């Protein structure tokens, strides 16, 4: 009878022993093990991602020639439009550079873009992290800004050999300096816990009391260059209402983010050409 009982609790004893061992081993070893596990998993994630891409490729192959020709025309039109925009941007940049020289202004922070495919959205962090298919192999730095066509995506928080982990703009642990378009005064943007349904949202606080937002005249929240991580003017979202915060003078409100954040396929990492003092882990 006693032997039977002992057999039954063996797994529990093993689990307890494992938990105790995990608790007892130093943090550095734990971090090392965790990083090792991630690196171990990464090839599988990357392979899955490539398979997804292949699946997409074959799905497109099934389209008719007419559809492909039409899509090709559409792409050509978009390309010529973007070429025109690129030329215009280039001339504007030259003009800004000229004005900076004349006015002796400090030059703006320059970035290099590294486009990366999204491998997966990480379930372990309540879908608030994404894994991208580029890492140390492309010199992705920790803390770098990540953007997409709709604006800010988030910030790189972990860099592995071939992948990087990005904390999304929707995460409650994501915070950045921002400003309302056309108003240079800095405000704080922070992600909030998502409801799981509907469009992603965030929060804004420390907004000046003379800022007015309504559903008819929403304010566009954009990034500011002041923080050093993001270039100025990237769209974060729209603010449709502001109300007095607990300070009695600044306002706080909700930010409606781009719904495409829920289905990201490709993002760009902004790699600063001149590195900045990035925070240490224990700050």
Residues near another protein (CB under 8 A) are 143, 172-177, 185-186, 188, 190, 206, 208, 224, 226-230, 244, 246-250, 277-280, 283
User: Which is nearer to another protein, 206 or 256 (by Cβ)?
Assistant: 206
- Closest CB 109 distance from another protein, rounded Å: 11
Residue showing tokens 């816990």: 193
User: Which is nearer to another protein, 3 or 277 (by Cβ)?
Assistant: 277
Specify the length of the chain in residues. Answer: 283
User: Which is nearer to another protein, 99 or 276 (by Cβ)?
Assistant: 276
- Closest CB 278 distance from another protein, rounded Å: 7
For 237, other C-beta atoms within 10 Å of its C-beta total 28
- Closest CB 12 distance from another protein, rounded Å: 31
User: Which is nearer to another protein, 103 or 246 (by Cβ)?
Assistant: 246
Whole-number Å distance between alpha carbons of 31 and 24: 13
- Closest CB 250 distance from another protein, rounded Å: 6
Contacts of 230 (CB under 8 A, 6+ apart): 145, 147, 152, 176, 223, 224, 270
Asked if residues 271 and 139 have their Cβ atoms less than 8 Å apart, the reply is yes
- Closest CB 227 distance from another protein, rounded Å: 4
Residue showing tokens 């719904």: 259
> CA of 175: how far to CAs of 63, 159, 234, 263, 274, in Å?
43, 19, 15, 21, 22
- Closest CB 275 distance from another protein, rounded Å: 13
Whole-number Å distance between alpha carbons of 134 and 170: 21
Contacts of 192 (CB under 8 A, 6+ apart): 170, 172, 201, 202, 203
CA 258 to chain centre: 12
User: Which is nearer to another protein, 150 or 172 (by Cβ)?
Assistant: 172
User: Which is nearer to another protein, 46 or 221 (by Cβ)?
Assistant: 221
User: Which is nearer to another protein, 120 or 190 (by Cβ)?
Assistant: 190
The vertex-184 CA angle with 157 and 150, nearest 5°, equals: 50
- Closest CB 33 distance from another protein, rounded Å: 22
């Amino acid at each position: 009878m006693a032997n039977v009982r002992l057999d039954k609790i063996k797994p529990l004893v093993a689990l307890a022993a494992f938990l105790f061992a995990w608790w007892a081993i130093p943090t550095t070893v734990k971090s090392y093990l965790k990083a090792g596990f991630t690196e171990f998993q990464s090839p599988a994630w990357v392979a899955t991602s490539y398979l997804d891409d292949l699946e997409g490729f074959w799905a497109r192959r099934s389209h008719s020639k007419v559809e492909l020709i039409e899509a090709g025309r559409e792409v050509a039109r978009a390309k010529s439009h973007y070429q025109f925009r690129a030329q215009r941007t280039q001339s504007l940049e030259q003009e800004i550079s000229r004005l900076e020289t004349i006015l002796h202004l400090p030059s703006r922070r320059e970035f290099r873009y590294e486009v990366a495919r999204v491998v997966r959205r990480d379930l372990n962090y309540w879908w608030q992290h994404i894994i991208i298919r580029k890492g140390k192999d492309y010199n992705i730095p920790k803390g770098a800004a990540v953007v997409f066509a709709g604006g800010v995506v988030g910030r790189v928080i972990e860099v592995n050999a071939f992948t990087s982990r990005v904390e999304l703009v929707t995460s409650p642990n994501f915070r950045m300096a921002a400003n309302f378009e056309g108003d240079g005064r800095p405000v704080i943007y922070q992600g909030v816990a998502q409801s799981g349904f509907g469009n992603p949202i965030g929060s804004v606080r420390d907004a000046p009391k003379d800022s007015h937002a309504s559903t008819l005249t929403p304010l566009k929240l954009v990034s500011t260059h002041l923080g050093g991580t993001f270039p100025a003017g990237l769209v974060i979202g729209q603010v449709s209402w502001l109300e007095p915060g607990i300070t009695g003078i600044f306002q706080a409100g909700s930010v409606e983010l781009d719904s495409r954040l829920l289905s990201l396929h490709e993002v760009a990492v902004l790699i600063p050409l001149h590195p900045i003092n990035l925070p240490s882990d224990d700050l």
